[in-house]
A and B are shown apart, each in its own frame.
With several copies, the nearest count.
Chain A
């Protein structure tokens, strides 16, 4: 086995030095009835590297990936451009195989990239500080709610129904375990407008652009939060922040988001990257790792360390700001490389392209029989109202090589004829035209066939 270097000679010498006869001896404290017999485990047999790769390749080819279809599916995970430099950097063994930089002197390189990541995320969100990463947006949002609870000392949080349903589910799970209450603010026409439920809540959570793609009124949300003595927590797609006035500029207290669109493969939803930023006054309540700049103890060279460590579980234990330990460092590095590669201009360019493509798609798909469900400004995702069951339409379009979007019926029973459509910079006019043409055809077929029943 190439992963284990021991030769018979090695084993013999080592056992002799230890002073035992066999490796079995080393396990003598395990009650014998708990020991497995050699080969007892019923798992598949070993595959050599070449067969193993062939086997995995075969498994992978059973899936339909974005290479096989044209992707208009978003809903928080986006098919965006990933520069080749991202992979070149994060595959370097030094980054890939190191761990949390507990020994800063031996990890200055990685620490510096984390510090740069924090800077870029804070800048993007218009916030003062950002941490080194969270698992994903859903858990980042739950952590933000819990952080708000700790700051405001109320045991209830309000969340808009226009926040990603999965994130809300995760929030619900976390809240249940802690005995907290989650109140849901129903969005009106795809937008969060009525904040009366925020009363007595530690925070109000809105997403902008929200799950429907609509840009929320963050000034309204800010005002409502202030009025009710609550914190404003905003979930925000980082890419949209390249153009939009960022949540920080509206006075958000905590901003979280999903970093996947910034250089990370969709990867069936993992690994992702939870972004977490807040006002400086709350930095001591922040969950997770945070890297700071300092100088040598006995010198004046600058260097980086993990800091505010007394917030963390390994030191503060049950009083820690969170239980998070391992975070998503490598994904944060990917996003750092991504933001560096695109820079100001590149990021604004792809964001603008997404807006243009989405606007074009809105026109094209509307002239194919769809209707824009909500009227407010969208970034690059929108809800298309169809004269048929959205799931059926999605399935039909898939046969034509188009991953048309997300049918919303499962999440919002009233929207079963609605499709959430995302259009990123990766799509071309031609692809959008083909989508529109295919949609027209599908709708025509559905109306002329027994399918028509679905409309009733």
Chain B
């Protein structure tokens, strides 16, 4: 396949790619109506067919879940059911204006409220809001609730520190910073759990009084369930702090255990992970949050409620609200998908999600244990974190090289170098929607690659060799920054 051309290179002045609406109102003089006009507008001009060819051929060099196995750790690349796309496309959902009178969209509010209620039940929290637009946005919203909570006790100025484990995802400290908090890192112990001594130290005495809260990922980014979770929550609470759960790993827990029961005060969810709204190449995400009653007063506006009689209403009279965190009701059409997904499983089958996600991850871990040992010798949850340290040490082969070589074998690589605390980390999250044969084929490929690493390491260094391009020069990309088509 030849290198694809830029859409601008395909452009010819005067071509059109669609039949835009005609206009039957009188002409106007644009200058006198609008004022200063622009000089030119360099957008592509191509026919409909050439448009479709461009994007069709580019899709052929884009790896998606429907192309093959995509075990990107921490991202829960599960199957995105096609029925969800059909329901989200219904004109009665897709054609709603967010500022049309609320009374004209009862079906939409019913759906939103139902999603909230199902998520409350699944997470063990008393309220959920769907306003956050992605995981990180949800984290930030949770921290804002925590901030407002402390402020309501007059402790806003005092509690300025957020504790974040060293294994946390980058969005955790970044979200804390976005809320004006300083971040204190909490180490992970040898066994892969939160270091309770260090935590106790951070919560002790004066230090403890400055702590706004702890951001804990459970299961952790090591793919391990935090067995001391109840104790940890108690410790933080005792010091007056709040505990936030990074719920990116909720796929390990759906129907099996509930963060609300663990002692967390609030959590975020990535509906685009756990509840299968499609990742879309990097979004839209969908970041619901769950919280307990004491944080409810601070919920972002507007709040969608259900009254005793079952009807759904919009509560905008929220004097203690942190305010809006996004323009409207969240990623509505993604909520339609999540709703469809939840109703397809139902109470009967919902636990199958976490049970098979965990089964698959443990299976991969077991199959690979001789070539790529797990960072911790414990049952993993929905994902396993392995280390390629030996290959780096002995053969100069890095985790990234193994990943790139996997592309040649037709697989999307796992996550690399995360969590940061595991050297040469390879984080594999198979998800529940993968069949045993797929896992076997993937493990077989890894085992083969590990053999290649030993005998023909250059195969890995030069990988991938089967794609439209070989390994790309990221340093050059930064140094000779080219982020828009300069030939325009």
Residues of A within 8 A of B301 (CB): 169
Bound complex: CA of A314 vs CA of B270, how far in Å? 17
Bound complex: CA of A249 vs CA of B340, how far in Å? 42
Contact of B343 among A44, A91, A291, A329 (CB under 8 A): A44
Bound complex: CA of A349 vs CA of B19, how far in Å? 11
User: Does B238 have its Cβ within 8 Å of any Cβ on chain A?
Assistant: no
Bound complex: CA of A55 vs CA of B359, how far in Å? 32
Contact of A173 among B97, B284, B322 (CB under 8 A): B322
A253 to B: closest C-beta gap in Å = 17
Residues of B within 8 A of A61 (CB): 92, 107
Are B134 and A324 in contact (CB-based, < 8 A)?
A: yes
Chain B: CB-nearest residue to A14:
B363
B177 to A: closest C-beta gap in Å = 4
Bound complex: CA of A48 vs CA of B22, how far in Å? 7
Are B462 and A298 in contact (CB-based, < 8 A)?
A: yes
Within 8 A of A (CB), among B276-301: 276, 278-285, 300-301
Bound complex: CA of A319 vs CA of B170, how far in Å? 10
Bound complex: CA of A301 vs CA of B65, how far in Å? 26
Residues of A within 8 A of B105 (CB): 62-64, 268
Bound complex: CA of A91 vs CA of B230, how far in Å? 43
Chain A residue total in the interface (Cβ 8 A): 215
Contact of B481 among A63, A71, A308 (CB under 8 A): A308
Are A29 and B227 in contact (CB-based, < 8 A)?
A: yes
Are A19 and B225 in contact (CB-based, < 8 A)?
A: no
Are B279 and A98 in contact (CB-based, < 8 A)?
A: yes
Are A108 and B379 in contact (CB-based, < 8 A)?
A: no
Are B106 and A62 in contact (CB-based, < 8 A)?
A: yes
Bound complex: CA of A98 vs CA of B72, how far in Å? 10
User: Does A416 have its Cβ within 8 Å of any Cβ on chain B?
Assistant: no
Chain B: CB-nearest residue to A106:
B63
Within 8 A of B (CB), among A70-85: 71, 73, 75-77, 79, 81, 83-85
Within 8 A of B (CB), among A132-180: 132-133, 135-139, 146, 164, 166-167, 169-170, 172-174, 176-179
Residues of A within 8 A of B470 (CB): 105, 296-299, 301
User: Does A305 have its Cβ within 8 Å of any Cβ on chain B?
Assistant: yes
User: Does A252 have its Cβ within 8 Å of any Cβ on chain B?
Assistant: no
Q: Which of B100, B262, B412 has the most CB of A within 10 A?
A: B100
A271 and B334 in contact (CB under 8 A), knowing A45-B346, A319-B177? Answer: yes
A133 and B283 in contact (CB under 8 A), knowing A66-B97, A241-B38? Answer: yes
User: Does B418 have its Cβ within 8 Å of any Cβ on chain A?
Assistant: yes
User: Does A51 have its Cβ within 8 Å of any Cβ on chain B?
Assistant: yes
Are A51 and B22 in contact (CB-based, < 8 A)?
A: yes
> Quick check: which of A195-203, A225-233, A424-432, A439-447 contacts chain B, the rest being far away?
A424-432
Per-residue CB proximity of B75-104 to A under 8 Å, as 1/0?
101111111011101111111111111001
A88 and B52 in contact (CB under 8 A), knowing A270-B334, A295-B476, A298-B471? Answer: yes
> Quick check: which of A114-122, A186-194, A365-373 contacts chain B, the rest being far away?
A114-122
Residues of B within 8 A of A241 (CB): 38
Are A2 and B436 in contact (CB-based, < 8 A)?
A: no
Q: Which of A41, A340, A347, A395 has the most CB of B within 10 A?
A: A340
A105 and B471 in contact (CB under 8 A), knowing A1-B349, A93-B56? Answer: yes
Contact of A123 among B99, B333, B488 (CB under 8 A): B488
Within 8 A of B (CB), among A37-73: 38-39, 41-53, 55-67, 71, 73
A93 and B17 in contact (CB under 8 A), knowing A30-B257, A64-B105, A340-B44? Answer: no
Residues of A within 8 A of B67 (CB): 93-94
Per-residue CB proximity of B172-196 to A under 8 Å, as 1/0?
0111111110110000000000000
Within 8 A of A (CB), among B335-356: 335-336, 339-340, 342-353, 355-356
Are B62 and A109 in contact (CB-based, < 8 A)?
A: yes
Within 8 A of A (CB), among B46-60: 46-52, 54-60
Chain A: CB-nearest residue to B14:
A7
Are B348 and A97 in contact (CB-based, < 8 A)?
A: no
Are A55 and B343 in contact (CB-based, < 8 A)?
A: yes
Chain A: CB-nearest residue to B183:
A318
Per-residue CB proximity of B125-152 to A under 8 Å, as 1/0?
0000000011111011001100100000
A341 and B17 in contact (CB under 8 A), knowing A59-B111, A89-B55? Answer: yes
B30 to A: closest C-beta gap in Å = 6
Residues of B within 8 A of A388 (CB): none
A297 to B: closest C-beta gap in Å = 5
A177 and B63 in contact (CB under 8 A), knowing A14-B359, A243-B38, A355-B28? Answer: no
Contact of A63 among B38, B106, B180, B230 (CB under 8 A): B106
Residues of B within 8 A of A305 (CB): 472, 474, 477
A106 and B412 in contact (CB under 8 A), knowing A266-B98, A294-B480? Answer: yes
Are B328 and A166 in contact (CB-based, < 8 A)?
A: yes
Residues of A within 8 A of B81 (CB): 3, 84
Are B135 and A65 in contact (CB-based, < 8 A)?
A: no
Per-residue CB proximity of B16-52 to A under 8 Å, as 1/0?
1111111111111010011111111111111111111
Q: Which of B14, B55, B257, B418 has the most CB of A within 10 A?
A: B55
A5 and B344 in contact (CB under 8 A), knowing A94-B66, A329-B280? Answer: no
Q: Which of B20, B173, B471 has the most CB of A within 10 A?
A: B20
A95 and B98 in contact (CB under 8 A), knowing A119-B488, A305-B474? Answer: no
Residues of B within 8 A of A46 (CB): 343-349
Contact of A327 among B122, B256, B283, B344 (CB under 8 A): B283
User: Does B330 have its Cβ within 8 Å of any Cβ on chain A?
Assistant: yes
Residues of A within 8 A of B258 (CB): 34, 36
Residues of B within 8 A of A100 (CB): 279, 281-283
Contact of A136 among B61, B133, B282 (CB under 8 A): B133
Are B344 and A49 in contact (CB-based, < 8 A)?
A: yes
User: Does A454 have its Cβ within 8 Å of any Cβ on chain B?
Assistant: no
User: Does B167 have its Cβ within 8 Å of any Cβ on chain A?
Assistant: no
A165 to B: closest C-beta gap in Å = 9
Are B471 and A60 in contact (CB-based, < 8 A)?
A: no
A424 to B: closest C-beta gap in Å = 9
Chain A: CB-nearest residue to B270:
A326
Are A116 and B344 in contact (CB-based, < 8 A)?
A: no
Are B477 and A109 in contact (CB-based, < 8 A)?
A: no
Are B20 and A350 in contact (CB-based, < 8 A)?
A: yes
Residues of B within 8 A of A315 (CB): 170
Are B327 and A62 in contact (CB-based, < 8 A)?
A: no
Bound complex: CA of A448 vs CA of B485, how far in Å? 62
Bound complex: CA of A174 vs CA of B137, how far in Å? 11
Residues of B within 8 A of A222 (CB): none
User: Does A449 have its Cβ within 8 Å of any Cβ on chain B?
Assistant: no
Are B333 and A267 in contact (CB-based, < 8 A)?
A: yes
Contact of A135 among B13, B137, B177, B481 (CB under 8 A): B137
User: Does A344 have its Cβ within 8 Å of any Cβ on chain B?
Assistant: yes
Are B137 and A52 in contact (CB-based, < 8 A)?
A: no
Chain A: CB-nearest residue to B156:
A179
Bound complex: CA of A79 vs CA of B117, how far in Å? 31
A329 and B51 in contact (CB under 8 A), knowing A109-B59, A169-B323, A176-B323? Answer: no
Are B326 and A138 in contact (CB-based, < 8 A)?
A: yes
User: Does A316 have its Cβ within 8 Å of any Cβ on chain B?
Assistant: yes
A272 and B327 in contact (CB under 8 A), knowing A105-B467, A177-B147, A324-B134? Answer: yes
User: Does B362 have its Cβ within 8 Å of any Cβ on chain A?
Assistant: yes
Chain A: CB-nearest residue to B417:
A314
A359 and B33 in contact (CB under 8 A), knowing A1-B352, A173-B325, A267-B96? Answer: yes
Known A18-B366, A342-B17; 12 more pairs at CB < 8 Å: A17-B363, A43-B121, A49-B83, A94-B59, A94-B64, A112-B6, A128-B484, A136-B133, A215-B35, A283-B481, A303-B469, A325-B170
Nearest 7 Cβ contacts at the A-B interface: A46-B346, A269-B328, A60-B92, A269-B98, A330-B280, A62-B107, A65-B95
| 26 sample A-B contacts, Cβ–Cβ < 8 Å, listed by A number | A1-B345, A2-B17, A2-B47, A4-B433, A10-B436, A18-B362, A28-B379, A59-B111, A63-B92, A88-B85, A91-B85, A119-B8, A138-B324, A166-B328, A177-B143, A243-B38, A268-B333, A270-B98, A301-B468, A305-B477, A314-B418, A329-B281, A350-B20, A355-B34, A425-B20, A430-B24
